[in-house]
Structure 1
Amino acid sequence: MSITVSTLTKNIKGIDLYLEIHQNKDAKETFVLLHGFLSSSFSFRRLIPYLTEKFNVIAIDLPPFGQSGKHSHYQYSYYNLAATVISLIDHLEYRSVYLIGHSMGGQIALNMMLQKPSLVKKGILLCSSGYLGAATQSLRLLSYFPFFHYFVKRYLEKSGVKKNVENVVHNKMIIDDDMLKGYEQPFLNNEIFRGLSRMVRDREGDLTSDRLKAITTPCLLIWGEFDRVVPLHIGKRLAKEIPNAKLVVLKEAGHLIPEEKAEEVYQNIYQYINEKPVN
C-alpha cells in the first residue's frame, strides 16, 4: 500500500479552501471529510489512517476555520458552504464520492445531498447538528457592528480550548498537549473572529423536517452514547426523518467520536458502504 499526501489551497467561489489529499494508489473510491464548528480537518487525524487503508481521502478546512479563508465578504451560510464544497469537488474532477460530516459538517453534508444528489454515493453523519435555528434577530443585528468580532473572541476565550475539548469527549483521559494544541491552532489567527462574526449573521439554521424528508441519499448516522453537544435524541429524530437512514450508537463515547472511537467509526463505515441495497 502506497499513500501520498499533498496539501493545497484552491480559490473557490471567492474563498481560499485548504485541503489535504491522501491518495492510495490502489484505491478507486474517495471520501470527503467535513469537520464541525470551531474545529478543522485536524479532528479527523485518527480516522484518516483507517480510511486510507482502502480509500482516497480529501479532508477540507471549512471557512473560516483551519487554514481556509476568513474573509468577511464571503457568505457563511450552510447552503453556500455546501455549494462551495460541491464546486471544489467538481473542480478536482471527482464525479461521485462518499461524504463524512461531523457535527456542523453533517449539516453541510446534508445540504450537499439536496443540492447535488448524484455527487454523493452515501453519506456518513457523525453526531450531526440537527434542528438548530438561526441566530436571533438581535444577535444578527449586533454582528454588523465594526467591533463585534472582539466580543466573539472574548466569548470564546472565556470558555477556553481545554474546557471546550473536555465537553466534547466522554473519556477525558485521551486529552493530551498535542490534542489541545491542535484544537487551539485555528484560533491563533485573529482573522477567524471576523469570519465567525459574519457566520453568526449568515447561518440560516439546520434543515427543517420537510427538507430532511426530501433527501434520497442513503445515510449512516453514528452517535456517541453520551454526546453532550448534540444529544442522542437528535440522532434518533434525524434517523426517522431522513428516508434512507440507519443509526448506530457507540457506547462510552461523547461528541468527538472521530477522536474517541476512530476504529469503531471506521468499522461501521466500512460495513455500511459495502452493504448491498435492499430491494
Structure 2
Amino acid sequence: MISYPMAVGAVTTRVLEAGGGDQVVVLVHGTGGRADRWVRNVDALAAAGFHVYAMDLPGHGFASKGPGVACSVPAYRAFLAAFIDAIGAAKPVIVGTSLGGHVVASYACEQPERVRAIALVGSMGLVPIGDEARGRIQAGANNQTRDGVRTKMQRVIFDPALVTPEMLEEEWRINNSPGALESFATLGQYIATDLDKEVVGEQLARAPFPVLLVWGEQDKTVPPAVGEKVRALLPHSRLALLADAAHTAYYERADDFNAVLVDFLAERAGQTPRDGVRWS
C-alpha cells in the first residue's frame, strides 16, 4: 500500500492505493473519518486481485478543509465522480460506510452506467433516519474535544480494546487540524437540516447493479433494523450481519468483511459459512 496527495479539481486529497489491474475498488469513509479507516481492507482486497483506492473526502483527514470547502452529499458525490475520472476507473466497485454510503449510493443512482456494484456499510441516506439521529450526528461532528472523540469512538466500535490511546490521540490531532472544525460545522449543519431530504433508497431499488449491505449487529448509529428495511426495499441486494461489531464493521471484523465483499463480487454470497456472519 502506498499513500500520496492528489489534486481532484480544486481539492487536494490524500490517497491510499494498492494492487493493480482493471478491477477497481474505491473505498469511501464516513463523517469524521478518512482514508486510513480502511487500512485493514486495502491490502487484503488487493491480495484478492483488486486495484484498491481510498481517499480523504473534502473537510476530512489530509484533504482540503476550512471555509469555502463544500461539505455535503451533493458536493461529495461530485468529488467522487471527479476522483473516479482522475484514476481512470471505467466501472469500479464502490464501497461506502455511514455518510460515505449515502455518497456512494447517490453517485451510483446518478451514474449507474459507471458502476459495477456497490457495497454499503451501516449506510445513511437509504431511508430517513429522523431528527434525533441527525441531531446526534451533528453534535458529534461538532464535538472534537478529547472527550468527544473518545465517546464517539467507543460508540462506533464495539470492542473497547480496539479503541487505543494512540487511535484517540491521532483522531483528536487530525480532527483539530487547521480548517477541520469549520468543515465539521458545515457538514454537521447539512446533516441536521438536509440529509433526510436526499434519501435514495427508492431510486436504488430500480438500479441495474448488485448491492451488498453490511451491518454490525451492535450498530447504535444506524441500527441493523435499517439494514433489514433496506434489504427488503432492494430486490437485487444481499445483507450480511456481522456479530460483535458496531458502526465500523469493516474495521472491527475486517477479515470477515473482506471475505464477504470478495464472495459477493464473485457471486457466491453466503456460500461459505463464517462464524459470526449471517446472510439475508
Equivalent residue for 1:32, pick from 22, 26, 29? 26
Structure 1 residue 251: deviation in Å? 1.2
Structural mapping, 1:101-140, within 5 Å: 101-130=96-125, 131-132=127-128
Alignment-derived partner of residue 254 in structure 1? 246
Does the residue aligned with 1:156 lie in a helix, a strand or coil? Answer: coil
Equivalent residue for 1:205, pick from 195, 214, 238? 195
Between structure 1 and structure 2, the one with the greater Rg is 1
Distance 2:257 2:268 in 1: 19
Alignment-derived partner of residue 167 in structure 2? 179
Structural mapping, 1:38-57, within 5 Å: 38-53=32-47, 54-57=49-52
1:154–1:215 distance in 2 versus 1, CA, 3 Å: closer
Does residue 220 (structure 1) correspond to residue 216 (structure 2)? The answer is no
Alignment-derived partner of residue 191 in structure 1? 179
Does the residue aligned with 1:255 lie in a helix, a strand or coil? Answer: coil
Query: Aligned-residue CA RMSD in angstroms?
Result: 2.6
Alignment-derived partner of residue 276 in structure 2? none
Does residue 62 (structure 1) correspond to residue 57 (structure 2)? The answer is yes
1:138-176 per-residue CA deviation (whole Å, 9 max, x = no partner) reads x9xxxxxxxxxxx99873327422221111111112222
1:224–1:172 distance in 2 versus 1, CA, 3 Å: same
How many residues are paired up? 258
1:194–1:88 distance in 2 versus 1, CA, 3 Å: same
Distance 2:263 2:172 in 1: 34
Contact 2:99 2:124 in 1 (8 A): yes
Alignment-derived partner of residue 15 in structure 1? 11
Distance 1:154 1:40 in 2: 16
Contact 1:66 1:186 in 2 (8 A): yes
1:177-204 per-residue CA deviation (whole Å, 9 max, x = no partner) reads 3322343342131411111222234453
1:198-243 per-residue CA deviation (whole Å, 9 max, x = no partner) reads 2234453141543333433211001111111110011111112234
Structure 1 residue 94: deviation in Å? 1.3
Distance 2:33 2:230 in 1: 23
* Partner AA of 2:6 in structure 1: T
Contact 2:27 2:55 in 1 (8 A): yes
Q: TM-score, normalised by structure 2?
A: 0.83
Does the residue aligned with 1:160 lie in a helix, a strand or coil? Answer: helix
Structure 1 residue 267: deviation in Å? 0.6
Alignment-derived partner of residue 273 in structure 1? 265
Alignment-derived partner of residue 272 in structure 2? none
Distance 1:15 1:202 in 2: 20
Structure 1 residue 57: deviation in Å? 1.0
Contact 1:169 1:254 in 2 (8 A): yes
Contact 1:37 1:104 in 2 (8 A): yes
Contact 2:29 2:100 in 1 (8 A): yes
Contact 1:213 1:243 in 2 (8 A): yes
Contact 1:15 1:71 in 2 (8 A): no
Does residue 92 (structure 1) correspond to residue 87 (structure 2)? The answer is yes
1:90–1:156 distance in 2 versus 1, CA, 3 Å: same
Q: Percent identity?
A: 21
Distance 1:158 1:174 in 2: 17
Contact 2:154 2:160 in 1 (8 A): yes
Distance 1:135 1:75 in 2: 23
Q: Higher relative contact order by CA 8 Å / sep ≥ 6: 1 or 2?
A: 1
Distance 2:210 2:253 in 1: 22
Structure 2: which 5+ residue stretches go unaligned? 270-280
Contact 1:42 1:183 in 2 (8 A): no
Q: TM-score, normalised by structure 1?
A: 0.83
1:259-278 per-residue CA deviation (whole Å, 9 max, x = no partner) reads 2100000110010001179x
Equivalent residue for 1:164, pick from 104, 129, 152? 152
Structure 1: which 5+ residue stretches go unaligned? 140-150
Does the residue aligned with 1:188 lie in a helix, a strand or coil? Answer: coil
